Structure 1
Amino acid sequence: MGAFERKISVSGAREHNLLDVAVELPHNRLICFTGVSGSGKSSLAFDTLYAEGQRRYIESLSAYARQFLGTLAKPDVDKITGLSPAIAIQQKTGGWNPRSTVGTVTGIYDFLRVLYARAGRQHCPRCERPITAQTAEAIIARILALPRDSRIQILAPVIRGQKGEHVDSLADLRRRGFVRARIDGQIYHLEQAPALGRHMRHDIEVVIDRLVIREGLRPRLAEAVENALAVGEGTLLVAPGEGADPKEKNHTGESGGGLGLTEELLLSAKYACTHCGIGFDPPSPQLFSFNSPSGMCLACDGMGTLHDFDPELLVPNPALPFFAPCIAPMRTVPGRWRRHIYQGVADHVGFDIRLPWKDLPAKAREALLYGTGDTHITFRWRYYGREWKHGGKFEGVIVELKQKYRQANSAMVRTYYEKFMRLRPCGECKGARLNAQARAVRIDGLALPELCAMPVKRAEEFLATLRLNATESLIAAEVLKEVRGRLAFLSSVGLDYLTLERTAPTLSGGESQRIRLAGQIGSGLVGVLYVLDEPSIGLHPRDNEQLLASLKRLRDMGNTVLVVEHDEVTMRAADLIVDFGPGPGVRGGRIVAAGSIEDLTANADSLTGAYLSGHKQIDIPEQRRPVDIRTKPKKS
């Protein structure tokens, strides 16, 4: 049976206002459902064909998978045969995750992650010098430079942020003679390693050696570094000795002191800044994912924005003094203990805290809201005629409010605090979403967030003239081909003004539909039923022609494209038109005509056909409402 003869057959469709509709739709064709609003187009396209396609797909999955997806009700239809897997591309702006962007929805960002991981050049986030390979001798010298008598552990990373129980990996370490490992931040004997959650991400670093920095250590340290680099595939960790507090015991039952080393050192034989003494993991696609702990900015959790308290919202009535309180979320007058803290800040900075907020100097308001930094302040506590002094830092009212917001255990409390907040770019990543290492990887002088901040048209031009050496060109050839193709499609449907970093919830209905369409064309799926809801709405005629070319391309790939449309150009371009009517609601629900454009225009019952043939027209009013250009708008 030929491709043209294969078809979707529908019998007895009664969803919503459909009246026992029966129709045959050929596969691999561009089909247009038309008719007046409310005549049943969407009821057949989305609520019958698409809904049944989704229901059958879910029923084909295992019982384990179905428990997460739920069940879908069967549409009110007697029979549907020849139905392909269905994908709906509707004009809905709701339901987007704020982490979704134009780049992630179209799949372009995933290819760019691979491109930067394989062809990007790492730079130091601190000094911006290019990263060079670090020799084992340089690593040994860096460790020996630690303060004398420092207790350290040499660790080799084996598992980094991977899900699974990792039973085989732990067993392999035991077979190779290793005794201890750090699992998710805790040291364990490998014989007593805990059972790991299958669906959780885990870090496993094997303990190569435990050392104390002193004379004569170099031979033993050199052996430990060599073993660690071999096990860790070029990367090792230098951690403080077990238990920074000598009284504190770990899971091995042993104690120790971490004298001299207060934070871990990551040293790499592949990526290290010799000037700053910083080592890095080799770039991987996960490093450039703002949805992964490996790559996201930890300050904003990869969102690029933060809810932060706004001083203007915090102080609705500046005429009140601080203790009134003038800061709304404080709600009640501070107690005696808090008052002596704030008075200590006032004495240290030098202002009268009893003045109205609006009369306080700028440095006073800054100190009360944002703290005094690392400055040591002496506070005086007076009680029953006696005075006690104590010192410390003052972090500010906003830090206190942030802690209350984070610790809030109810949505109602968080909503209350959010009334005094505004969304602003993250101060750490400046809205780039990625951590410092990822932001310091460049291709032809451009970091990934900078590329994503370009309009699609400029990004196309940059990638078209990308300067790579022979090795990088060989690595990047296929990735660049995919990225350039998807960028070209976005341009072809009139979206060349968008940036890849643009968040999906900010897109209009038409933009989001065309973005989804770009992702589907890029996926290369074949044998799918695509159902679209008025994709031409709001488009310039030039962009509409480009959209039709894209729909035909989707059809020519071996898919059935079903479009609910009112646009004449789309109707004339369709392989098959199905006209619903004759009216809306109870006066509709039937197929008035189906076939080519000629079949519709020849059918006397088809209202759409009458307009397409020119027998009916929308008359231009002979007389319009007069406008007096001398009339000026009234001032409000």
Structure 2
Amino acid sequence: MQSPALHAADSHDLIRVHGARENNLKDVSVELPKRRLTVFTGVSGSGKSSLVFGTIAAESQRLINETYSAFLQGFMPTLARPDVDVLDGLTTAIIVDQERLGANVRSTVGTVTDSNAMLRILFSRLGQPHIGSPQAFSFNVASVSASGMFKRGEGKAEKVTFSRIGGMCQRCEGVGSVSDFDLTALYDDTKSLNEGAITVPGYSMDGWYGRIYRGCGFFDPDKPIREFSKRELDDLLHKEPTKIKVEGVNLTYAGLIPQIQKSFLSKDREAMQPHVRAFVDRAVVFSTCPECEGTRLSEAARSSKIAGISIADACAMQISDLAGWVRGLHEPSVAPLLTALGDTLDSFVEIGLGYLSLDRPSGTLSGGEAQRTKMIRHLGSSLTDVTYVFDEPTTGLHPHDVQRMNDLLLQLRDKGNTVLVVEHEPEAIEIADHVVDLGPGAGTAGGEVVFEGTVDGLRASGTLTGRHLDDRASLKPSVRTPSGALEVRGASTHNLQGVDVDIPLGVLTVVTGVAGSGKSSLIHGSVAGRDGVVAIDQTPIRGSRRSNPATYTGLLDPIRKAFAKANGVKPALFSANSEGACPNCNGAGVIYTDLGMMAGVATTCEECEGKRFQASVLEYHLGGPDNGKDISEVLAMSVAEAEEFFGAGEARTPAAHAVLARLADVGLGYLTLGQPLTTLSGGERQRLKLATHMGEKGGVYVLDEPTTGLHLADVEQLLGLLDRLVDSGKSVIVIEHHQGVMAHADWVIDLGPGAGHDGGRIVFEGTPADLVATRSTLTGEHLAAYVGG
């Protein structure tokens, strides 16, 4: 029998989770070995993220936050304790997820990894001519010069001059581009306001906007705009929000441009109605700053050089080249700095991001690139016994690069850390010391541990993951014949080297190549944006915490109308943002309390119990006396349940059913209709957008890595969906690394041969069978091995 002392020692080597109930978890209990690599598997929505991120990582971060003072906690996000009975053995958790790096216009790859900070110090020490301290090379610091009188003790006042030299370009304020409005898209200057001069969507003279602009008194509404004085035109276009009284009502007037920036430019372009999107594309013009030529830096900052290279030149270099340049500098006075900067740049190359440049805006990185950029901060860390939590680290990686990522994960483990990985990729699951498989299904059909043990044990377990772990797609016996071609000529976005290619129409085309080879540059730079092309990516969907799949897809409109018709009342009653809202929480379902210096808290509304609606609204039902549901019960349904509910019987609503069928088609049957959009993964967001766009008229669909976040068993469903799209007359172009999708293609366009300036060329065009037969590229070699060719 094991001694208590030995058992206690063993327990220190485990993270123990007992009775976890976050989201769909059903009293889950697991014991995870520390200083090992544990991979969590299971279909999308099975509960992997709820266990790893929502329970283990969340509690670790909450406990760390509690060690800070109340003052500091006031600046931190509020973290509630996860719904779990026992959670011990935790160590500090570092989350390396796929959340896009802040899309702040001032954020670049250099600023988020501290590479820029080191470069600025380097140039302030070695740059000639010498222009000042590191801030003189920062595009985020403006030059300031000021003077004033200063009294020192009892003496006379002295004149003191204060100056700070920053590196910011004054014209664009360090952004690198200047935006302008095409005024001809905003109004017809031959007409007066009363004649309908304003051509902005929704700004008719009959509505509130018209009443505000006509009654503000800043200009004559009967005078043609071309006859406005300079002051009147400035008031029409640029006036800051000002309180006015129109027809006895207190209102706020703002010029057209600030009003458009607020009502249109703060919204997600994808979520706009087509005519509004077309207006924004027409009205807003972005161009490179003519003064700094997009470098963001002042002329002084660009004039200081080391060995003929300015800091702007260094930031524009491909990082693999910059690493070589830094290694070639031999200056004993800054030797430790050169070593540290060189090591950081080498980490980029080691992690497969050597093709980036430091001036690349961080908001343009894909989820996978963002995750690997975050890894760079941790690779050189001296910390051990840390829990690193990764969310699908192979996302965006070519099969050739997956081995490199595996090596990095094992490197973190071998330093004495606990590594927890949520993953679908078989090659990444293979390296696990321990596997936790959740399921058996998604949503309410998931939330249980269906297997825990070794990879070989998983393979023999008979679970959905175990059965599909060794899945291999086979090449199609025949491919479709194109109906035409979409011509691309001289494409030179980013690293593309004057690419000419004909993309076949009427078929399934897969664009492949290693990360950084130019796939996205080719498709998003030369194909997306054309007439009839619907491009669907994984970028976050802007919206409030009230936004959910039902509001985003337009599903809620037919549902509200169906409730209104069945009960003889107004549709607005069934909106939690309108007349039906619970008066206590204004339809939010929770009460947000600001505790001043302490962290604010969110508590479920006691009045509506989180249902968001007035009690009287919940008395109205749809669907007959036996299985009738109120509006809150409908929003709590999964897509699959709602599809059945609205497909037949008294609740039958064809318009709602059509949207639900599309959501189920893209593999989102497990999502609940009222789930906040902020909780969706990148892959889920893309599939939600795809379901929304499937009802549109566009003839060409562009998808960017649609297998992201998909379980092995769901890839087959996705391929079936792509086939149905093509068979219905659409042309489908997919950027993808998954060999199963490549094998299923009618046509493959492979870019490479490498990344960055070693890529940017077409290295193969043809059928998957020809790619396998020739094995002339990295993709060809891996696909041949995959299909057993």
Per the normalisation by structure 2, the TM-score is 0.47
Equivalent position SS for 1:592: strand
CA shift digits 1:346-399 (9 cap, x unpaired): xxxxxxx99xxxxxxxxxxxxx9xxxxxxxxxxxxxxxxxxxxxxxxx999998
2:411 equivalent among 553, 560, 564: 553
Q: Is the 8 A contact 1:432 1:449 kept in 2?
A: yes
Indicate whether 1:509 and 2:367 are aligned. yes
Task: Tell me the equivalent position of 2:395.
Answer: 537
Q: Is the 8 A contact 1:28 1:560 kept in 2?
A: yes
Task: Give matches, 1:488-499, under 5 Å.
Answer: 488-499=346-357
Equivalent position SS for 1:512: helix
Tell me how far apart the structure 2 counterparts of residues 478 and 400 of structure 1 sit (CA, whole Å).
56
Indicate whether 1:582 and 2:445 are aligned. no
Tell me the CA shift for residue 298 of structure 1.
3.6
Task: Tell me the equivalent position of 1:458.
Answer: 321
Tell me how far apart the structure 1 counterparts of residues 309 and 236 of structure 2 sit (CA, whole Å).
38
Task: Tell me the equivalent position of 2:150.
Answer: 188
CA shift digits 1:148-167 (9 cap, x unpaired): xxxxxxxxxxxx99xxxxxx
Tell me how far apart the structure 1 counterparts of residues 295 and 237 of structure 2 sit (CA, whole Å).
23
Task: Tell me the equivalent position of 1:104.
Answer: 111
Q: Is the 8 A contact 2:242 2:253 kept in 1?
A: no
Tell me how far apart the structure 2 counterparts of residues 622 and 13 of structure 1 sit (CA, whole Å).
44
Equivalent position SS for 1:306: strand
Indicate whether 1:69 and 2:64 are aligned. no
Tell me the CA shift for residue 527 of structure 1.
2.8
Single out whichever of 445-454 and 554-563 deviates more from structure 2: 554-563
Tell me how far apart the structure 1 counterparts of residues 315 and 297 of structure 2 sit (CA, whole Å).
12
Tell me how far apart the structure 1 counterparts of residues 218 and 27 of structure 2 sit (CA, whole Å).
72
Indicate whether 1:438 and 2:295 are aligned. no
Tell me how far apart the structure 2 counterparts of residues 398 and 487 of structure 1 sit (CA, whole Å).
51
Question: With CA pairs under 8 Å and 6+ residues apart, which has the higher RCO, 1 or 2?
Answer: 1
In structure 2, what residue type is equivalent to 1:422? V
2:20 equivalent among 5, 13, 22: 13
Task: Tell me the equivalent position of 1:259.
Answer: none
Q: Is the 8 A contact 1:58 1:71 kept in 2?
A: no
CA shift digits 1:89-144 (9 cap, x unpaired): 2222275433221112222112112211222222679xxxxxxxxxxxxxxxxxxx
Task: Give matches, 1:182-581, under 5 Å.
Answer: 185-191=147-153, 294-310=166-182, 313=185, 317=188, 404=239, 414-416=258-260, 420-466=283-329, 468=330, 473-581=331-439
Tell me how far apart the structure 1 counterparts of residues 40 and 443 of structure 2 sit (CA, whole Å).
16
1:89 equivalent among 83, 89, 96: 96
In structure 2, what residue type is equivalent to 1:89? V
Indicate whether 1:49 and 2:11 are aligned. no
Tell me how far apart the structure 1 counterparts of residues 197 and 255 of structure 2 sit (CA, whole Å).
22
Equivalent position SS for 1:69: coil
Q: Is the 8 A contact 1:309 1:398 kept in 2?
A: no
Tell me how far apart the structure 2 counterparts of residues 97 and 304 of structure 1 sit (CA, whole Å).
13
Tell me how far apart the structure 1 counterparts of residues 157 and 454 of structure 2 sit (CA, whole Å).
74
Q: Is the 8 A contact 1:105 1:519 kept in 2?
A: no
1:119 equivalent among 126, 134, 154: 126
Equivalent position SS for 1:527: coil
Q: Is the 8 A contact 1:8 1:82 kept in 2?
A: yes
Equivalent position SS for 2:449: strand
Task: Tell me the equivalent position of 1:385.
Answer: none
Q: Is the 8 A contact 1:119 1:475 kept in 2?
A: no
Q: Is the 8 A contact 1:528 1:559 kept in 2?
A: yes
Task: Tell me the equivalent position of 1:22.
Answer: 29
Tell me how far apart the structure 1 counterparts of residues 299 and 11 of structure 2 sit (CA, whole Å).
55
Indicate whether 1:610 and 2:467 are aligned. yes
In structure 1, what residue type is equivalent to 2:302? R
Task: Tell me the equivalent position of 1:34.
Answer: 41
**Quick one: structure 1 residues 630 and 184, their matched pair in 2 at CA, closer, same or farther if it must change by over 3 Å?**
closer
Q: For the aligned residues, what is the CA RMSD?
A: 4.5
Tell me the CA shift for residue 506 of structure 1.
1.5
In structure 2, what residue type is equivalent to 1:611? H
**Quick one: structure 1 residues 92 and 552, their matched pair in 2 at CA, closer, same or farther if it must change by over 3 Å?**
same
Q: Is the 8 A contact 2:101 2:362 kept in 1?
A: no
Tell me the CA shift for residue 422 of structure 1.
2.6
Tell me the CA shift for residue 44 of structure 1.
0.5
**Quick one: structure 1 residues 620 and 411, their matched pair in 2 at CA, closer, same or farther if it must change by over 3 Å?**
farther
Tell me how far apart the structure 1 counterparts of residues 230 and 439 of structure 2 sit (CA, whole Å).
69
**Quick one: structure 1 residues 411 and 478, their matched pair in 2 at CA, closer, same or farther if it must change by over 3 Å?**
farther
Tell me how far apart the structure 2 counterparts of residues 192 and 307 of structure 1 sit (CA, whole Å).
52
1:627 equivalent among 460, 477, 480: 480
In structure 1, what residue type is equivalent to 2:468? Y
Equivalent position SS for 1:8: strand
Tell me how far apart the structure 1 counterparts of residues 25 and 19 of structure 2 sit (CA, whole Å).
9
**Quick one: structure 1 residues 416 and 296, their matched pair in 2 at CA, closer, same or farther if it must change by over 3 Å?**
same
Q: Is the 8 A contact 1:4 1:26 kept in 2?
A: no
Tell me how far apart the structure 2 counterparts of residues 411 and 334 of structure 1 sit (CA, whole Å).
11
Q: Structure 2, unaligned stretches of length 5 or more?
A: 1-5, 133-140, 201-212, 244-251, 266-279, 486-504, 507-531, 533-698, 700-789
Tell me how far apart the structure 2 counterparts of residues 486 and 410 of structure 1 sit (CA, whole Å).
51
**Quick one: structure 1 residues 412 and 79, their matched pair in 2 at CA, closer, same or farther if it must change by over 3 Å?**
farther
Q: Is the 8 A contact 2:218 2:235 kept in 1?
A: no
In structure 2, what residue type is equivalent to 1:41? K
Tell me how far apart the structure 1 counterparts of residues 255 and 80 of structure 2 sit (CA, whole Å).
35
Tell me how far apart the structure 2 counterparts of residues 566 and 445 of structure 1 sit (CA, whole Å).
48
Single out whichever of 91-100 and 394-403 deviates more from structure 2: 394-403
Tell me the CA shift for residue 85 of structure 1.
1.4
Q: Structure 1, unaligned stretches of length 5 or more?
A: 126-159, 162-182, 194-205, 211-236, 240-263, 267-280, 282-286, 288-293, 343-352, 355-367, 369-393
In structure 1, what residue type is equivalent to 2:405? L
Tell me how far apart the structure 1 counterparts of residues 11 and 114 of structure 2 sit (CA, whole Å).
32
Equivalent position SS for 1:72: coil
CA shift digits 1:585-629 (9 cap, x unpaired): 233222222222122234x343323333x5xx46759876x7355
**Quick one: structure 1 residues 628 and 96, their matched pair in 2 at CA, closer, same or farther if it must change by over 3 Å?**
closer
Rg larger for: 1
CA shift digits 1:547-570 (9 cap, x unpaired): 112222222333222110011111
Tell me how far apart the structure 2 counterparts of residues 326 and 484 of structure 1 sit (CA, whole Å).
59
Tell me how far apart the structure 2 counterparts of residues 407 and 27 of structure 1 sit (CA, whole Å).
60
Tell me how far apart the structure 1 counterparts of residues 109 and 97 of structure 2 sit (CA, whole Å).
16
Q: Is the 8 A contact 1:3 1:27 kept in 2?
A: no
Tell me the CA shift for residue 310 of structure 1.
3.4
Tell me how far apart the structure 1 counterparts of residues 385 and 241 of structure 2 sit (CA, whole Å).
49
- Report sequence identity in percent: 37
Tell me the CA shift for residue 497 of structure 1.
2.4
**Quick one: structure 1 residues 569 and 481, their matched pair in 2 at CA, closer, same or farther if it must change by over 3 Å?**
same
**Quick one: structure 1 residues 573 and 70, their matched pair in 2 at CA, closer, same or farther if it must change by over 3 Å?**
closer
Equivalent position SS for 1:532: strand
In structure 2, what residue type is equivalent to 1:481? T
Equivalent position SS for 2:466: helix
